[in-house]
Amino acid sequence: MAYLAPTEFVTKMIDAGEAKIFMSTRDTLIRAYMAGAILALAAAFAVTITVQTGQPLLGAVLFPVGFCLLYLLGFDLLTGVFTLCPLAVWDKRPGVTWAGVFRNWGLVFVGNFGGAFTVAVMMAIIFTFGFDTPPNKVGQAIGHIGEGRTVGYAEHGAAGMLTLFIRGVLCNWMVSTGVVGAMVSTNVTGKVVAMWMPIMLFFYMGFEHSIVNMFLFPSGLLLGGNFSIYDYMIWNEIPTVIGNLVGGLAFVGLTLYSTHVRTAPKRAAH
């Protein structure tokens, strides 16, 4: 059957989380680096489409190509392991510890950032002809995105921070649903369709994804965006990471695990 029942794909989620915790440092870093790089390319692609066509929806419709590619190739995003790895702890898998989970998260963060930053530098070179000319229209747009989503939040103080956090929560609710989507089907077409829908939604709605932002903001700084590294870390990356963690765990990992693996006792028939 091409479709797996929820009890089957949630078990696959736990298995995946366990495997990632025990993966070697080298493999974890390589897979995370490639995931960050491919997602960054997709973000550059989507912004280019939006700028050149004036149609943000078209950029959002096509952005999931990167997410689908990286998961079909077996690479890892921080937003995905946020949701999968704790399941192996809750399921009491042998040898699985929170220390192992945190190790995985740390390595994937470093790998994702390395991949996204590599592409940020490459795209900045393309958008400025090797830093020989001012940024083209797409480069300018990326710089403005960086400003709006750092100092733009800071202008609103605590309300801006709350908005940023909630956007991070909603983002990984959708992105982790996309990660699960890859496990729902056993054929490529089914996997792609299931992954495509929630990723398109998050991108069009402007939710905050910590790995996409590892591309957008460093490239924005390289392209002359009027914000600082401090603005990027405090008024975007750190709150976004926390929001992504809460969203993935609370709305995807915990809910699916609690009702499809640790089900409540059935009521007796009267």
List b or e across 210-245, with b for residues whose CB sees 16 or more CB atoms inside 10 angstroms: bbbbbbbbbbbbbbbbebeeebbeebbbebbbebbb
Q: Strand, helix or coil at 175?
A: helix
Whole-number Å distance between alpha carbons of 270 and 229: 64
Closest listed residue to residue 256, CA positions, set 77, 18, 5: 5
Whole-number Å distance between alpha carbons of 30 and 119: 15
Give me the helix-helix angle, 238-248 and 78-90, nearest 10°: 40
Measure CA 89 to chain center: 22
pTM: 0.96
Say which residue the tokens 């950029």 belong to: 59
Quick one: pLDDT at residue 268? 63
Low-confidence ranges of the chain (pLDDT < 50): none
Quick one: pLDDT at residue 118? 98
Close Cβ partners of 27 (under 8 Å, ≥ 6 residues apart): none
Asked if residues 139 and 223 have their Cβ atoms less than 8 Å apart, the reply is: yes
List b or e across 46-61, with b for residues whose CB sees 16 or more CB atoms inside 10 angstroms: bbbbbbeeeebeebbb
Q: What is the CATH number of domain 6-260?
A: 1.20.1080.10
The model's pLDDT over 82-104, given as tens digits with 9 standing for 90+, comes to 999 999 999 999 999 999 999 99
User: What are the structural domain ranges in the chain?
Assistant: 6-260
Quick one: pLDDT at residue 265? 86
Asked if residues 127 and 136 have their Cβ atoms less than 8 Å apart, the reply is: yes
Q: Where are the alpha helices (DSSP H) in the chain?
A: 6-22, 25-53, 56-62, 64-72, 78-90, 98-127, 137-148, 151-154, 158-184, 188-204, 210-222, 229-232, 238-248, 254-260
Quick one: pLDDT at residue 127? 97
Number of Cβ within 10 Å of residue 250's Cβ equals: 14
Measure CA 56 to chain center: 19
